[in-house]
Chains A and B, each alone.
Chain A
Amino acid sequence: MKILYATPIAKRYRAIETETRLAAEDGHEVHLVADRRPHWDDHEVDPRVTVFWLRPNELRARENPIVTWLLCRLPRAVLRRLRIGPLTRPADRVLRAWDRRVAHPIERRRRRRTGSMRTAYRLATLTGLIEAHDYDWIVLGEPGAVDLLADDLPALLARRPGLRTTYSYETFLEADGVR
Chain B
Amino acid sequence: MSAGRRVAVVTPWYPEAQVPFRGSFVRSMVEAVAPGCERLDVWHLNLWTVIRPPERRETVWRVQRELLPRSVPPIATASGAVLHRVPVMAPPLEDWRAQSDEFASWLGVALGGEPIDASIVHAHVPFTAGWAALEHAAPGAKVFATEHASFLADVLAQPGARDRYDEILDRLDGYFVVGEPLRDLVAGVFPHHAGKIRFIANPIDFRAPRAEAPRDLRRWLSVSTLTERKRIDHLLRGFARARAEDPGLTLTVVGDGDGRADLEALAADLGAAEAVDFRGAVEPDEVRGIMAAHDLLVHTSRHETFGMVVVEALAAGIPVLVTRSGGPEHALEGVEAAAGQFVDVDDDPAVLAKGFAELRGRHRTGLDLARAREVLAGRYGYEAVARQHFQAWDRAAEEPAP
If A18-B17, A19-B17, A173-B75 touch, does A167 touch B85 (CB 8 Å cutoff)? yes
Complex interface: stretch among B59-67, B264-272, B316-324, B340-348: B59-67
B278: min CB distance to chain A, Å: 15
If A18-B17, A150-B60, A154-B63 touch, does A143 touch B76 (CB 8 Å cutoff)? no
B48 and A140 contacting across the interface, CB-CB below 8 Å: no
Contact pick for B16, options A166, A168, A175, CB 8 Å: A168
Is B56 an interface position by the 8 A CB rule? yes
Interface centre among A143, A154, A157, A165, by most B CB within 10 Å?
A143
B334: min CB distance to chain A, Å: 40
A146 and B17 contacting across the interface, CB-CB below 8 Å: no
Interface string of A130-147 (1 = CB under 8 A from B): 000000000010110011
Give the number of residue pairs across the A-B interface with Cβ within 8 Å: 73
Interface centre among A13, A166, A175, by most B CB within 10 Å?
A166
Complex Cα spacing A126 to B400, Å: 56
Is A63 an interface position by the 8 A CB rule? no
If A150-B63, A167-B85, A168-B85 touch, does A14 touch B72 (CB 8 Å cutoff)? no
If A14-B18, A140-B67 touch, does A147 touch B60 (CB 8 Å cutoff)? yes
If A146-B64, A147-B52, A147-B56 touch, does A175 touch B18 (CB 8 Å cutoff)? no
Complex Cα spacing A120 to B234, Å: 48
Which A-chain residue is minimally distant from B49 (CB atoms)?
Answer: A143
B74 and A154 contacting across the interface, CB-CB below 8 Å: no
Chain B binding surface, main DSSP class: mixed
Is B73 an interface position by the 8 A CB rule? yes
Complex Cα spacing A4 to B76, Å: 22
Residues in chain B near residue A15, CB distance under 8 A: 16-18
Is B89 an interface position by the 8 A CB rule? yes
B285: min CB distance to chain A, Å: 14
Is A107 an interface position by the 8 A CB rule? no
Residues in chain B near residue A151, CB distance under 8 A: 59
Is B378 an interface position by the 8 A CB rule? no
Is B357 an interface position by the 8 A CB rule? no
A173 and B71 contacting across the interface, CB-CB below 8 Å: no
A165 and B67 contacting across the interface, CB-CB below 8 Å: yes
If A12-B18, A19-B17, A150-B63 touch, does A173 touch B49 (CB 8 Å cutoff)? no
A52: min CB distance to chain B, Å: 20
Which A-chain residue is minimally distant from B18 (CB atoms)?
Answer: A15
B71 and A143 contacting across the interface, CB-CB below 8 Å: no
Residues in chain B near residue A142, CB distance under 8 A: 48
B20 and A14 contacting across the interface, CB-CB below 8 Å: yes
B76 and A167 contacting across the interface, CB-CB below 8 Å: no
Contact pick for A166, options B49, B59, B71, B82, CB 8 Å: B71
Q: Which residues of B does A touch, CB under 8 Å?
A: 16-20, 48-50, 52, 56, 59-60, 62-64, 66-67, 70-76, 82, 85, 87, 89
Q: Which 7 A-B pairs have the closest CB atoms?
A: A15-B18, A18-B17, A15-B17, A143-B48, A150-B63, A165-B71, A172-B73
Some 18 contacts from A to B, beta carbons below 8 A apart, are A15-B16, A15-B18, A18-B17, A143-B60, A143-B87, A146-B63, A147-B56, A149-B63, A150-B60, A157-B66, A166-B71, A166-B72, A167-B85, A167-B87, A171-B75, A171-B76, A173-B74, A173-B76
Name 5 extra pairs, CB < 8 A, besides A14-B20, A173-B73, A173-B75: A146-B63, A165-B71, A167-B87, A170-B17, A175-B74
Q: Which residues of A does B touch, CB under 8 Å?
A: 12-15, 18-19, 140, 142-143, 146-147, 149-151, 153-154, 157, 165-168, 170-173, 175, 178
